[in-house]
Amino acid sequence: MPSKGKERTSTRSTKKSERASAVAENYLLSMYGFWEDQKKPTLAVLAESLKRMPESEGLGTSLPSVTGMVRRMQKENLLEVNSQKEILLTREGFRRAEDITKRHRLAELMVVDLFDIGLPRAHLEAHRLEHAISSELMQNIIKRLGDPALSPFGRPIPGLFDDKNGPEVISLEQTTEGSTYLIQRIPEDNEDLVQFLVDADILPGNTVTIE
């Protein structure tokens, strides 16, 4: 007859977590941004994108490191590489990319609205929190924030933003001189640039005239 200690050991759950590693989640977060912008990155382009992640994330951004991680995520059915050597999200990869993007953008909004963190640091602080937010906590954050649709940078929060009736969004390069535009979103991953935009009051929801 086995001892009670062995009985307790045998009942440990061996269920595999559905969450990706923190490194993989950062790759998925970056890939979701490319998907939003309708871009298909190569390994070199993805590596450059990952270099804009906070150093605290501990990502290897050399081409060999990125190549190795992409291959690993291919084996995990999260990424695929097409014949043009462009990296794409698989269906499962897209589902998980939506999830980490949702947690990241909710974290950005939470630190700004609930903890009075300045907008320039919101992106960095969100990176520190996103991997620790459980599904249950995420639902509580959504409720506390009043079912928000957008991050403080104007980015849609997956699952909460209805893009069917959303306004047409164009880039700064597509604007014309003398015209006035409503700012929909601003970059989030350059702290100095965000501080400049805050100081100039160039923020989502405000208008700007191109001169």
Asked if pLDDT for residue 10 goes beyond 70, the answer is no
Give pLDDT tens digits for 137-173: 999 999 999 999 999 999 999 999 976 556 678 888 9
- Which residues make Cβ contacts (< 8 Å) with residue 150, sequence separation at least 6? 105, 156, 157, 161, 204
Determine the pLDDT at residue 132.
Answer: 95
Determine the pLDDT at residue 18.
Answer: 61
Separation in Å, CA 63 to CA 20, 40, 47, 50, 60: 21, 17, 6, 11, 9
Helix, strand or coil for residue 204?
Answer: coil
Determine the pLDDT at residue 162.
Answer: 77
Asked if pLDDT for residue 1 goes beyond 90, the answer is no
Determine the pLDDT at residue 188.
Answer: 95
Write down the pTM of the prediction: 0.87
Give pLDDT tens digits for 64-93: 999 999 999 999 999 999 999 999 999 999
Which helix (H) or strand (E) segment holds residue 141: the answer is: helix 135-144
Asked if pLDDT for residue 13 goes beyond 60, the answer is no
Asked if pLDDT for residue 7 goes beyond 90, the answer is no
Determine the pLDDT at residue 16.
Answer: 43
Signed CA dihedral, 191, 195, 197, 201: sign only:
positive
Asked if pLDDT for residue 94 goes beyond 70, the answer is yes
Q: What percent of the chain has pLDDT over 90?
A: 81
Domains identified in the chain and CATH numbers: 22-93 (1.10.10.10), 101-155 (1.10.60.10), 172-209 (no CATH)
